Amino acid sequence: MNLRTTLLIMMLTVVALTGCSSGGDDTPVVPTVPDTPAEFTARGWQYFESNNYSDALADFNSALALLPDYGQALSGRGWCELKLAVDSAGLTASVAAFTAAMMVDEDTSEVFAGRASALLALGGDNLDVASSNAYGVAMNDPSFVFSHQQSIDTKDMFLISAFAEAGMGDFNSALYQADLIEVSGIEADYPETWLVAGTSYSSFNASVLARLHQLSEQYSG
Amino acid sequence: MVLNLMLLVSLPAAADIVGNTLDLSDGSAPAAALATVTLGLANEDAVGGIQVDILFDGSVAAFSGMAASGRGAGMTAEGRVVESGRLRVVMYYSGSGTLASGTGPVAELAFLMQGSTGNTSALTITDIVLSDTDGNDLTASATPGSLTVADPVGSPFLNISALKNPGDTHIVMIMVTVSGGSGDAPIVSASGSAVTMSSLADGVFQGQHHALSGQSTLTITATDSNSNGTSNAQIILALP
């Protein structure tokens, strides 16, 4: 075995031991049995990325049992509670986790994005904050992509804001947000523009909602 | 001779007209249909051009279009919504024409009606600029008209929009718009489960549904009735 071959084997061994981490990133090494908050959190996100939200939540909770103010685990808990929610209690728990993350300076776009989604789902008086949280992410972080579910990006933030505005009955604001994704050409005062996918609508509100439905199908999540 | 006498009786002579008055007629149509109103002018002075703003309630009607008619048939007529609920109408002769002293319609305006039966909007004429053939301002007054949403002629018309929460696409906001409906919330179900709907705006209702984890499609139906019958709408949503 020459020196070149020996070096190659050593390099491959190192890569295998570090879990094939993608080149150059700082993702924590995830051992088989996590021991620290960071390790539990890293494994939690791995579960999350494979849509195993129950096990992910368990890991985030384990991390928080060791370090209650661990912002990344609070963010993970918020996202898992959102994914697992079947009623307002679950959504409220999600919002609480995201809010707690923000309180410990984990005020990232991912936290605001998740919080906006949960507030949108809660509806009612929460819609105003949902809209402003989502719009804030889109404005402050125009290239936002949720690193653990990359299908969620800036367009989704505009959608959340648009849906929240529609949910408050403000269809002009909803259209404004939707047009930041793609200009529709719909104008409130011109019925001839109340057209979506070749269908004319008999009211401005109906055309805006049809447009939101179309964008939801194209981009949501 | 007989015809001439009839005209003398039925049409006011120019000498009988005092001042210049614009008026709008009343119009009505069911929701989602066009209502037409007439812009009339009784003018003592010869008129070269007309500009007026017409105020209306944008939740009851939307301006759809206009055309010169009657005595104004030779004029160019343009209507443009300059701000919500304010329509600016401009009529003028491209050449050297004149609207001689007289009485009668000069234009027809169409509005698309919206919302619940019985909703009414005043049509108020304001900011009148009436000019003679030399471009001098003429004094003018105005009489308002109105628009009313009439009884529907058919069963209700429903549209369903389903907005998937971007953070979790199994949480769906359901929005239903109804024209010519009962006024009550439509009956909505999502894959067989009843969805409670609340009124959001005139003819717009919203509810929310949590689809089951692993559910790949969601069938949403909405139903409403009026005195003419019952209507249904349905969409099938793919859930990622």
pLDDT of residue A28: 55
Q: Report pLDDT digits (tens) over B172-189.
A: 999 999 988 888 999 999
**Among residues of chain B, what percentage have pLDDT more than 90?**
76
Task: Provide mean pLDDT across the span B218-229.
Answer: 95
Q: How confident is the model at residue B155 (pLDDT cuts 50, 70, 90)?
A: very high
Q: For residue B47, which phi and psi values (nearest 5 degrees)? A: -115, 135
The reply to whether B201 touches chain A by the CB within 8 Å rule is yes
- Side chain identity at residue A75, one-letter code: S
Token pair belonging to B193: 């489960």
pLDDT of residue B114: 87
pLDDT of residue A30: 57
E strand or H helix that includes residue A89: helix A88-103
Burial (CB count <10 Å: 0-12, 13-18, 19+), residue B225:
middle
pLDDT of residue B94: 87
Q: Indicate yes or no: CB of A169 within 8 angstroms of CB of B162.
A: no
The reply to whether A169 touches chain B by the CB within 8 Å rule is yes
Look up the CATH number of domain B157-238.
2.60.40.10
CA distances from B223 to B30, B182, B193, B232, B233 (A): 19, 10, 14, 5, 7
For A133-137, A212-216, B13-17, B116-120, which range has the lowest pLDDT when averaged over its residues?
A: B13-17
Q: Indicate yes or no: CB of B31 within 8 angstroms of CB of A202.
A: yes
CA atoms within 13 A on the CB side of B6: 3
ipTM: 0.84
pLDDT of residue A5: 43
Reduced DSSP (H G I as helix, E B as strand, rest coil) percent helix, strand, coil of chain B, to 5: 5, 60, 35
Task: Sketch the domain layout of chain B as residue ranges.
Answer: 14-150, 157-238
From the list A152, A166, A219, which residue is nearest B167 (CB)?
A152
Task: Provide mean pLDDT across the span B128-136.
Answer: 91
Token pair belonging to B95: 């050449």
Average pLDDT of the residues of chain B: 91
pLDDT of residue A14: 33
Between CA A158 and CA B31 the distance in angstroms is: 31
Token pair belonging to B19: 């001042």
> Which of B116, B170, B173 to mutate to probe the A interface, most A CBs <10 Å?
B173
The reply to whether A163 touches chain B by the CB within 8 Å rule is yes
Task: Provide mean pLDDT across the span B11-21.
Answer: 73
The two domains B14-150 and B157-238 share their CATH topology (first three levels equal):
yes
Token pair belonging to A77: 């808990």
The reply to whether B63 touches chain A by the CB within 8 Å rule is yes
Of A218, A153, A138, A135, nearest to A182 (Cα)?
A: A218
User: What are the beta bridge partners of residue B113?
Assistant: B61
pTM: 0.81
Q: Higher confidence at residue A29 or residue B31?
A: B31
Q: Which residue stretches of chain A have pLDDT < 70?
A: 1-31
CATH class of B14-150: mainly beta
Token pair belonging to B221: 């139906």
